[in-house]
Homo-oligomer: A and B are copies of this chain.
Amino acid sequence: MLPRTGHIPRATIQRLAVYLEVLEKLHDEGLTVISSEPLAKACGVNASQIRKDLTYFGEFGVRGVGYNIANLMRSIAEALGADRPWNCVLVGVGKLGKALLNHKDFSLRSYHIIGAFDSDPEKIGEEVAGVTVQNVHCLKECSEALNARIGIITTPPAWAQQVAEQLVEAGIKGILNFVPSRIFTPDDVYVEYVDFFHNLYALSFNITSSQSR
């Protein structure tokens, strides 16, 4: 059940994603019920945090019994919007773009990459993982026709902003940006940056500052 306000802090969304990942694993192992303490331990958070997060969207464990794993998975997936299919288009069919098109977990998680675009004549017409690469000039029309809601950008940095604008024109509401370049969109179009160098910086920052203490 989604909270009425629709507002959940970003850190909570990230924890919900972790809970879902851990619950899926427990479910695959054949577990049906779990109480908050062992679930918290498996997720690497404390039990009061998990109870608070789950209460947030209306899930309460049964005292002495715990949470029904299948129900909890369903509730979290629903809260994350991951219980329904999402049509995605990808722009920039280089090495990374191809790897993502071939990544089976997208479809498994109901994010379907059903369109791919590039400006390179060598790539246009090529079929990658069942998707035919189309001319980027067709981005707006084709994305609209595909009823795409999420755009994935894997172009060279210089093209990211222009591609983002075309995606917005095509009615895309969320952009997963793999390009290490800021992009600017209207307030109602969400952008997520994927850049593991930021994670490396966080590591080197933490190691450095723990040693200077």
Alpha-carbon distance A18/B193, docked complex (angstroms): 10
**What is the CA–CA distance of A42 and B184 in the complex, to the nearest angstrom?**
9
- The reply to whether A173 and B80 contact each other, CB–CB distance below 8 Å, is no
Let me know if A6 and B209 touch, CB within 8 A.
yes
Which residues of B sit under 8 angstroms from A204, Cβ to Cβ? 80-82, 86, 111, 150, 174
Give the CA-CA distance A16 to B25 in the complex, in Å: 35
Q: In the complex, what distance in Å separates the CA atom of A2 from the CA atom of B5?
A: 40
Interface string of A171-195 (1 = CB under 8 A from B): 0011110101110100010101111
Q: Which residue of A181, A206, A210 has the most chain B CB atoms within 10 A of its CB atom?
A: A206
Question: What mask results when residues 117 to 144 of chain A are scored 1 for a CB within 8 Å of chain B, else 0?
Answer: 0000000000000000000000000000
Q: How far is the CB of A202 from chain B (nearest CB, A)?
A: 5
Q: Check B81–A205 contact: CB distance below 8 A.
A: yes
A79 on interface, CB distance cutoff 8 Å: yes
Q: A17-B197, A200-B150 are in contact. Are A81 and B180 (CB under 8 A)?
A: no
Q: In the assembled complex, which residues on chain B have CB atoms less than 8 Å from the CB atom of A201?
A: 13, 16-17, 20, 80-82
Contacts of A99 in B (CB 8 A): 95, 99
Contact, CB under 8 Å: B212 / A6: yes
A200 cross-chain contacts in B, Cβ below 8 A:
86, 109, 111, 150, 176, 192
A202 CB contact (under 8 Å) in B10, B196, B197, B203: B10
B207 touching A149, Cβ below 8 Å: yes
**B205 and A21 contact, CB distance less than 8 A:** no
Q: Complex formed: what's the CA distance from A199 to B194 in Å? A: 8
Q: What 18 new A-B contacts, CB under 8 Å, besides A2-B209, A81-B208, A176-B200? A: A8-B205, A13-B198, A14-B198, A25-B181, A44-B184, A86-B200, A105-B197, A111-B200, A150-B200, A150-B207, A173-B207, A173-B210, A174-B203, A176-B196, A190-B202, A192-B200, A192-B202, A192-B203
